[in-house]
Amino acid sequence: MTEDIFVVGAGAWGVALAHAAAVGGCNVALCGRDQAVADIINQTHANPQFPDLASVDQNVRAQIGYAGIEGAQTILMVVPAQVTRQALSEIGVDRLAERNIVLCAKGLEQGTLKRQSEIVAELVPDAVPFSLSGPSFAIDVAQSKPTAVTLAGPSLAQAREIVDLLAGPTFRPYSSDDLIGVELAGALKNIYALGAGAVEGAGLGFSARSSLIARGFAEMGRLVEALGGQSVTLNGLAGLGDLTMSCTARESRNYEFGYRLGAGESVQQILDSGAKLAEGVFSSPVGFKLAHQNGVDVPIIGAVNALLDGKVTIDILVSKLMARPLRSE
């Protein structure tokens, strides 16, 4: 399907998705904030994030600002979750009305505790929100390596339209109508990735990490159902697929951040070294508040919060989790 797509955000993930959409046959406008990045893409078709590893399809046109966004029926928001509200406000309600907005960030908004689609519903009630999630690293998509994800929308029919638009030879979205479940799974897996990384960083062994992943999966299921999502969603790419990848790969920013926490560094020390703040650091306290409001027991999220606050070390937290009352699984 040939159509004009506007991608907001020219970071590694934004450039990768713009490339994938163009390979799939779309004309893509990529909006960033760095003129040098835009020039590299337009003049050389090199990928600024992975210059020696990946190129950018010729049907991607990079630019600064939102000029021309009115001509695109489908807009991919590829900015950090905590920046989504600001970006939507900058673009303007009139420009976004009745557009398909595909939300590609995996996170919950601090303060409001809202999912990404809830932010869209608040600011642009006439827009149609979708969520793109699943096991995917930017470098894999940028290099056109086989990648399967979940694309959720208000209905299966609406989701399928976006799936048909974005699908390409190596990029395979699967449609879903569980917008709540897909968004929550994408945000919550970041929290468990922090915990899994911390267990590995502390040298507690693969058995402990595997147990955390399994119990985290069960914990995530209880919270997703309590918040209106479908448990079956967690058995797919957006749930188990993304959780497994994020909790086992050092390439995951959340896992790497957690690894360094487990190895003894504080949040501030990690940031002072130049590392970017992982999205799970924002989503962890939000997830804990949502669980508390809905009466869901989330001991692992609670432990990750305590670790982020620097109150206890990972080995003590694991000991406390192991000392919880015995019960059936």
Q: What is the SS3 assignment for 91?
A: helix
Q: Which residue(s) pair with 132 in the sheet?
A: 151
189 flagged as catalytic: yes
List the structure tokens of 158: 């609406």
Other Cβ atoms within 10 Å of 225 Cβ, number? 18
Phi, psi (5° rounding) for residue 235? -80, -5
Other Cβ atoms within 10 Å of 39 Cβ, number? 12
Yes or no: say if 93 and 120 are a contact pair by the CB < 8 Å rule. Answer: no
Q: Could you tell me the CA-to-CA distances from 244 to 53, 79, 198, 237, 282 in Å, in that order?
A: 25, 23, 15, 10, 20
Q: What is the SS3 assignment for 99?
A: coil
Yes or no: say if 57 and 23 are a contact pair by the CB < 8 Å rule. Answer: yes
As to burial, measured by CB atoms within 10 angstroms (0-12 exposed, 13-18 middle, 19+ buried), residue 205 is exposed
Yes or no: say if 77 and 9 are a contact pair by the CB < 8 Å rule. Answer: yes
Distance in angstroms (rounded) separating the CA atoms of residues 329 and 326: 9
Distance in angstroms (rounded) separating the CA atoms of residues 177 and 130: 9
Q: Which residue among the candidates 106, 189, 311, 320 is catalytic per the annotation?
A: 189
List the structure tokens of 206: 């693969």
Q: Describe the strand order of the beta sheet including 60-64 as a list of residue ranges.
A: 60-64, 27-32, 4-8, 74-77, 100-103, 128-133, 147-152, 171-176
Phi, psi (5° rounding) for residue 32? -130, -170
Residues with catalytic annotation? 189
